[in-house]
């Protein structure tokens, strides 16, 4: 099978070419300036005394990167040590007009790799790509250790930062025969999601389309064509900015688990997510 070209690598290559082109132009302009500053030879080709010298040519500044000035909040779901802190994670918080546990432990692969770690490592891959595209990236947790934060606080981070998008990263843990990704977007909860439900749905479509274009399979067991609308998730319900949650695969399915625990597999997903965020914010 022909090797699939990565859309992330194409975007990065274009940015590099633009930067290199600007550097070459600046070097040429600088060399021209050096030549013009030397003493002119006598004779017809020299500049007559008192003649104003021509203004040096100015090189246009390269365009800003595509996500310059935009803030994206990445939410690596759960945390590695949530299970060691039952009192904290079982505390009830507001999940959008109803109470729900602060957090949960998440799932794991059959070999014991925690979902929280998969989510964290994927977030690092996405972060690198979005920052290369000019975005300011904020994470809802700063390490894969400890517990929390709670689901309401994860949304609050995006709200405080004025994010253009909150992208929550998860993986599922269902029956081993089920596989594929799905993108969850908030349903309408009056007084809670009225202001974000439309934009969040558009972001979900952008994420789904980019993942499909990257060769990933929509979930066979939930949602419709890789999309799932839910009104019971506190992270989405508490957001005041467009917000979606990716379930990147089923960690109990051997193929999905292999993809999500392999650096090359996570890179494929991160490539697609960088394209999705760029397209959503450009629209």
Q: Could you report the per-residue pLDDT of 113-162, keeping only the tens digit for each?
A: 999 999 999 999 999 999 999 999 999 999 999 999 999 999 999 999 99
- Residue 59's pLDDT is 87
> Can you list the domains of the chain with their CATH numbers?
8-37+51-63 (no CATH), 71-282 (3.40.630.40)
Q: Which residues pair with 99 in a beta bridge?
A: 94
pLDDT band at 18 (very low <50, low <70, confident <90, very high): very low
Active site residue 161: no
- Residue 52's pLDDT is 53
Structure tokens belonging to residue 78: 């759960």
What are φ and ψ of residue 249, in 5° steps?
A: 165, 180
Q: Kindly report, residue by residue over 200-216, the tens digit of the pLDDT.
A: 999 999 999 999 999 99
pLDDT band at 186 (very low <50, low <70, confident <90, very high): very high
- Residue 147's pLDDT is 97
Detail the DSSP E strand segments found in 10-140.
Answer: 71-76, 92-94, 99-101, 136-139
Which of 2-11, 19-28, 47-56 has the lowest average pLDDT?
A: 19-28
For 176, the 3-state DSSP assignment is: coil
Question: What mean pLDDT comes out for the span 185-207?
Answer: 98
């Amino acid at each position: 099978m022909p090797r699939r070209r990565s859309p992330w690598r194409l975007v990065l290559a274009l940015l590099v070419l633009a930067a290199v082109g600007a550097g070459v132009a600046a070097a040429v302009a600088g060399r021209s300036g050096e030549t013009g500053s030397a003493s002119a030879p006598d004779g017809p080709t020299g500049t007559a005394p008192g003649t104003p010298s021509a203004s040096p040519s100015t090189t246009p500044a390269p365009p800003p990167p595509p996500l310059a000035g935009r803030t994206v909040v990445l939410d690596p779901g759960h945390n590695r040590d949530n299970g060691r802190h039952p009192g904290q994670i079982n505390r009830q918080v507001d999940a959008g007009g109803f109470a729900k546990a602060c957090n949960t432990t998440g799932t794991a692969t059959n070999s014991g790799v925690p979902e929280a770690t998969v989510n964290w490592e994927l977030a690092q891959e996405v972060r690198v790509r979005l920052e290369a595209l000019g975005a300011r990236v904020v994470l809802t947790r700063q390490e894969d250790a400890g517990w929390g934060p709670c689901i309401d606080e994860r949304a609050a981070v995006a709200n405080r930062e004025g994010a253009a998008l909150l992208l929550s990263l998860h993986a599922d843990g269902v029956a081993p025969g089920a596989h594929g990704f799905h993108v969850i977007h908030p349903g309408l909860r009056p007084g809670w999601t009225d202001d974000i439900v439309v934009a969040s749905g558009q972001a979900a479509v952008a994420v789904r389309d980019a993942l499909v274009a990257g060769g990933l399979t929509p979930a066979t067991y939930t949602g419709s064509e890789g999309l799932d609308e839910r009104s019971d998730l506190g992270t989405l319900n508490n957001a005041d900015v467009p917000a979606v949650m990716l379930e990147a695969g089923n960690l109990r399915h051997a193929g999905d688990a292999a993809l999500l625990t392999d650096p090359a597999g996570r890179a494929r997903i991160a490539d697609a997510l960088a394209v999705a965020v760029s397209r959503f914010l450009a629209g």
